[in-house]
Amino acid sequence: MEFMEESIRSGMVAIVGPPNAGKSTLMNHLLGQKISIVSHKPQTTRNRILGVVNGDDYQIVLLDTPGLHKARQPLNREMVRIAMDSLNEVDAILYMIDVSLPLPEKIEKEKNREMMEQMDGVVAPVILVLNKVDLLVKEGLLPMIKRYAELYPFHAVLPLSALTGEGTERVVEELLTVLPLGPRYFPEDIPTDASERFLVAEIVREKVFLLTGQEIPYSCAVTIESFKEDTTKQMTTIHATIVLERSSQKGIVIGKGGQKLKSIGTAARKDIEKLLGQKVLLKLWVKVKKDWSKDGRFLKELGF
């Protein structure tokens, strides 16, 4: 990689934590645009997504990682491996948790123990991000910050709301106190190193997450079959396939008279047009690849 010759505060920062903590929402907010897909369902992010936050005197390269959880299936194990590997490659870590849901004391202790195990051996400074504090009673915030600060030598404990943006400016301020002096790793007009094909596939997968029931999203992958830009018509034609694990899921995704698939395609096309800045003709197909999430060869095709 050819670095930009300039000495500023710069470095790699991993955003890690349990599923559904708001990691992708935070990264999108800091970037000022949507790079990572978001849904209310856990384990939406599967791959490591890179986003670049630029300022006059800094560049923060954020890595949005899959949620840390106890993994049993090959796909989930790969997701956790990707997240854990990130901890050893960065200059700082944002460990993010959702504090809006009150937990029984036994479960909370277990989750805190898991967090300490995940941080074992980490040498980079860790900033604990307490997300969704806008849903908390304000009187309980300071005791919560104190309790978490006693668990681990965090560089800082930051309460915020990734959704509303409240408190997110503190994240950048704290990161700049720990990032080293160095070059810009990316030109200032490049917000991510992900390809357009990858981002398009992620957008389609997000719409499947949002528009189908509990079972379908985790059995779904998206592959881009063709991606053709017509400069004269200012239009991109994209053929994509939604891959499912079981035949019974196909009818659910297609829907009665094809309406569900049409809704997925319409919602995805609107976001893809924003991403590409031009009209898009999106054609979706659905196919079944039995137990694809256990197929090592197919997982490699998906980038794992």
Q: What is the CATH number of the domain that holds 276?
A: 3.30.300.20
Count of the separate structural domains present in the chain: 2
In whole angstroms, give the CA distance from residue 236 to residue 228. 6
Q: CA–CA distance from 152 to each of 118, 119, 226 (Å)?
A: 12, 9, 48
Question: Which residue range(s) make up the domain with 242?
Answer: 196-301
Does 189 map to a domain?
A: no
> What is the pLDDT at residue 71?
42
Q: Are strands 92-98 and 126-131 parallel, antiparallel or unpaired?
A: parallel
- In terms of domains, do 19 and 118 share one? yes
The domain boundary, picked from 122, 149, 184, lies at 184
d(CA 26, CA 24) in angstroms, rounded, equals: 5
- Does 190 fall in a domain? no
216 and 145 in one domain? Answer: no
Q: Does residue 205 sit in the same domain as residue 262?
A: yes
CA distances 213 to 12, 218, 257, Å, are: 36, 10, 18
pLDDT at site 42: 43
Same domain for 153 and 232, yes or no, is no
Residues 177 and 285 in one domain: no
Structure confidence at residue 69 (pLDDT):
39
Of the chain, the end-to-end C-alpha distance in Å amounts to 22
> Which one of 160, 184, 208 terminates a domain?
184
| pLDDT, position 78 | 55
How many helices and strands in the chain, by DSSP H and E? 9, 10
Task: Tell whether 191 is covered by a domain.
Answer: no
Asked if 240 and 291 sit in the same domain, the reply is yes
Instruction: Count Cβ neighbours within 10 Å for each residue of 23-50 and write b for 16 or more, e otherwise.
Output: bbbbbbbbbeebbbbbbeeebbbbbbbb
Residues counted in the chain: 304
Tell me which residues of the chain have a pLDDT lower than 50: 1, 3-4, 39, 41-46, 68-71, 74-76
With respect to residue 203, please indicate whether it lies within any of the assigned structural domains: yes
Tens of pLDDT, residues 39-87? 454 444 445 677 889 999 999 988 877 654 344 554 445 555 555 566 6
Question: Among 157, 184, 211, which residue terminates a domain?
Answer: 184
